Chain A
Amino acid sequence: MADQGAADPGNNNNNKPEASEGTIIKVTVKTPKDKEEIAIAEDASVTQFKEEISRRFKAKQDQLVLIFAGKILKDGDSLSQHGIKDGLTVHLVIKTAQNTSASSSTSTQAGNTSASSPDTNPSSTAGSTGTTAPPTQTPNILTGFGDLAGLAGLGMGSANFMELQQQMQRQLMSNPEMLSQIMENPLVQNMMSNPDLMRQMIMANPQMQQLMERNPEISHMLNNPELMRQTMELARNPAMMQEMMRNQDRALSNLESIPGGYNALRRMYTDIQEPMFSAAREQFGSNPFSALGGTSESGAQPSRTENREPLPNPWGPPNSSNPSESGGATTGSTSTSGGTTPSVSNPLGINPGSLGNGMFNSPGMQSLLQQISENPQLMQNMLSAPYMRSMMQSLAQNPELASQNPASSPSSAGTNTAQQQLMQQMLQMFAGGGGGGGSTQTPEVRFQSQLDQLSAMGFINREANLQALIATGGDINAAIERLLGSQPS
């Protein structure tokens, strides 16, 4: 009796409702994400084990699937039946109801819902597209995607939808195939083909609203259905996105050669840059780019446009390892398209369909894109707008660019250089905290990292390095060539 009595409190200490006898064993429960050690009676049933697990992992019992030694543990079994002993590991998969049904059926349902309520509040729409909607869901453009694709992430057991969505978007951006997969999803296409919906989603983002307040032009952009449609088409079709980027680059490079264009750009720059950057900064968080600069993601990830190789990371010490390739690719596509005169009232200035083509194809731009898209907010659609502006701003702010471009246009390196320079300037503007600071940085500051690289490579003449860098606009490879060319050997 005493023994029994002693055994019971012993068992109760382990939170088991039954006063089952038997020794307590420690079993490790492992999920793909997580690992916990659970103490349970040796002769407990799988159900009891699951109770304990559901407490520990904060999941419902019927969401739990236990696997041991390649077999699924059914509720009616006992642990000893499967030979689960002290110190062994059981695998756990936390399912949710949505996951068990095929994701396509879920999305079709969701697609119907969203189709029937295009004008509802974006967050509730987004909420209905996913089968579960967290109460405070940032009405993110990709909220819908996040929910859909987030179903995949639900298995992680993470209850944090934001996190899921962010991850999903990150992956989305970095994986063109996944992107196209998602794009193919009828729900997505549905959403995207509804400009009102898209606009609402964009506008519902508070940062976006701020941005718009400061910059009425943005709201112009958003309100222009043609533009919205175009942007959505873009987002929907990565190939088309490339196309447009190319066009943009082309037009942008044409911009420089327009006599008055430069000044106009510069004007625009000053008018728009300040609010743009401060707004953008808020949107993207303070100095996210310096943080991003630390990550080197250029090597491994597939680039956003499929036919590019991994691009150098312009944020960090600009390696610019593949400038010539991209330069070749971009200049190959240089052709004239009517350069629309930019004007302040039309901030996109140039018809977005014909802007800044080569820029977007340059390695910096793409890495930029990738990294920007790391940030979950308003990725795709916002990309068009702020980007084109900053393009133009970079152009405007760097007089060297203009002189250099026509001067060196015959050589592909030249254009590439200009673009690189642009890229880096833009990047530095962001990284340096933007806000009108870009053009005031001395060349030395701007090229600090390049200088470091050059000296690491053995070019110890800092002055010469600096000169070369200024001349090439920060393009390390071109600078090296310059330096080598100037030396007798």
Chain B
Amino acid sequence: MAFSSFKVPRNFRLLEELEEGQKGEGDGTVSWGLEDDEDMTLTRWTGMIIGPARVSRTNYENRIYSLKVECGSRYPEAAPTVRFVTKINMNGINNSNGTVDSRSIPILAKWQNSYSIKIVLQELRRLMMSKENMKLPQPPEGQTYST
């Protein structure tokens, strides 16, 4: 589902993404949806990343990472803010509260309005498989950040 380059109104975009998330588009390794189904502003989303498993032996084997994605009022022109809820050790992720540093994740740094929540999640997953991140030891499964 490609988003066109002319400016789509925010809510339309987010509704499209919501639908896509529910239909499970993509490869089945990421999932996203509204945090609160009653949220009319479509701002707060939860995402899930299924850690890369069999592609290569990574420390993220088969774990499920939970994230919060916040699409501000200027989305999709502005990148969303992303925060990991499940503890993770990865470059670009703040170790104490799980916030994703928008400057170190390439697609957040160079955000385009054709990007979407799905793409952000998939990109984060891809980064988990990158050489540098693959070696990082991961905290025991199931831990979450306190904030």
Q: Which residues of A contact B (CB under 8 A)?
A: 28, 30-32, 35, 65, 67-72, 83, 85, 87-91, 93, 95, 99-104, 149, 151-156, 167-168, 171-172, 175, 177-178, 181-182
Q: Is the CB of B135 within 8 A of A181?
A: yes
Q: Which residues of B contact A (CB under 8 A)?
A: 18, 21-25, 27-29, 31-35, 37, 45-48, 50, 53-59, 61-62, 64, 66-67, 131, 134-135, 137-138, 140-142
Q: Is the CB of B53 within 8 A of A32?
A: yes
Q: Is the CB of A152 within 8 A of B22?
A: no
Residues of chain A contacted by B34 (CB below 8 angstroms): 69
Q: A152 vs B55: C-alpha distance in the bound complex, in angstroms?
A: 9
Q: Is the CB of A71 within 8 A of B64?
A: no
Out of B35, B45, B48, B55, name the residue touching A67 (CB < 8 Å): B48
Q: Is the CB of A155 within 8 A of B54?
A: yes
Q: A28 vs B32: C-alpha distance in the bound complex, in angstroms?
A: 16
Out of A83, A91, A175, name the residue touching B31 (CB < 8 Å): A91
Question: Which 8 residue pairs are nearest across A and B when measured between Cβ atoms?
Answer: A69-B33, A89-B24, A155-B62, A70-B46, A30-B28, A152-B61, A70-B32, A70-B33
Q: Is the CB of B54 within 8 A of A167?
A: yes
Contact A30 B54, CB 8 Å, known A93-B64, A99-B62, A102-B140: no
Q: Is the CB of A149 within 8 A of B57?
A: yes
Question: Using a Cβ cutoff of 8 Å, how many contacts connect chains A and B?
Answer: 110
Question: Most chain-B Cβ atoms within 10 A of its Cβ — which of A28, A103, A182?
Answer: A103
Q: Is the CB of A68 within 8 A of B54?
A: no
Residues of chain A contacted by B48 (CB below 8 angstroms): 67, 70-72, 91
Q: Is the CB of B62 within 8 A of A152?
A: yes
Q: Is the CB of B57 within 8 A of A182?
A: yes
Q: A397 vs B2: C-alpha distance in the bound complex, in angstroms?
A: 60
Q: Is the CB of A71 within 8 A of B54?
A: no
Q: A31 vs B29: C-alpha distance in the bound complex, in angstroms?
A: 8
Residues of chain B contacted by A168 (CB below 8 angstroms): 57
Residues of chain B contacted by A182 (CB below 8 angstroms): 57
A-B contact pairs, 23 of them (CB 8 A): A28-B24, A32-B29, A67-B31, A67-B48, A67-B64, A69-B22, A69-B31, A70-B32, A70-B66, A71-B46, A71-B48, A83-B37, A89-B25, A93-B64, A95-B62, A99-B62, A102-B138, A103-B61, A153-B54, A155-B62, A177-B131, A177-B135, A182-B57
Q: Is the CB of A70 within 8 A of B45?
A: yes
Shortest C-beta distance, B80 to chain A (Å), equals: 13
Residues of chain A contacted by B66 (CB below 8 angstroms): 70, 72
Q: A93 vs B53: C-alpha distance in the bound complex, in angstroms?
A: 11
Question: Most chain-A Cβ atoms within 10 A of its Cβ — which of B28, B57, B66?
Answer: B57
Shortest C-beta distance, A97 to chain B (Å), equals: 12
Shortest C-beta distance, B37 to chain A (Å), equals: 6
Q: A156 vs B52: C-alpha distance in the bound complex, in angstroms?
A: 11
User: Which partner residue on chain B sits nearest A184 by CB separation?
Assistant: B135
User: Which partner residue on chain B sits nearest A105 by CB separation?
Assistant: B140
Residues of chain B contacted by A151 (CB below 8 angstroms): 61
User: Which partner residue on chain A sits nearest B140 by CB separation?
Assistant: A102
Q: Is the CB of A171 within 8 A of B57?
A: yes
Residues of chain B contacted by A68 (CB below 8 angstroms): 22, 31, 33
Contact A171 B33, CB 8 Å, known A71-B48, A89-B23: no
Shortest C-beta distance, B70 to chain A (Å), equals: 13
Shortest C-beta distance, B43 to chain A (Å), equals: 14
User: Which partner residue on chain B sits nearest A158 by CB separation?
Assistant: B54
Q: Is the CB of B37 within 8 A of A152?
A: no
Q: A156 vs B54: C-alpha distance in the bound complex, in angstroms?
A: 7
Contact A70 B50, CB 8 Å, known A83-B22, A93-B64: no
Residues of chain B contacted by A100 (CB below 8 angstroms): 141-142
Residues of chain A contacted by B57 (CB below 8 angstroms): 149, 152, 168, 171-172, 178, 181-182
Shortest C-beta distance, B17 to chain A (Å), equals: 10
Residues of chain A contacted by B25 (CB below 8 angstroms): 89
User: Which partner residue on chain A sits nearest B55 by CB separation?
Assistant: A171
Q: Is the CB of A32 within 8 A of B50?
A: yes
Contact A152 B54, CB 8 Å, known A32-B27, A67-B48: yes
Q: Is the CB of A91 within 8 A of B23?
A: no
Q: A35 vs B23: C-alpha distance in the bound complex, in angstroms?
A: 13
Residues of chain A contacted by B24 (CB below 8 angstroms): 28, 30, 88-91
User: Which partner residue on chain B sits nearest A152 by CB separation?
Assistant: B61
Shortest C-beta distance, A56 to chain B (Å), equals: 16
Shortest C-beta distance, A105 to chain B (Å), equals: 9
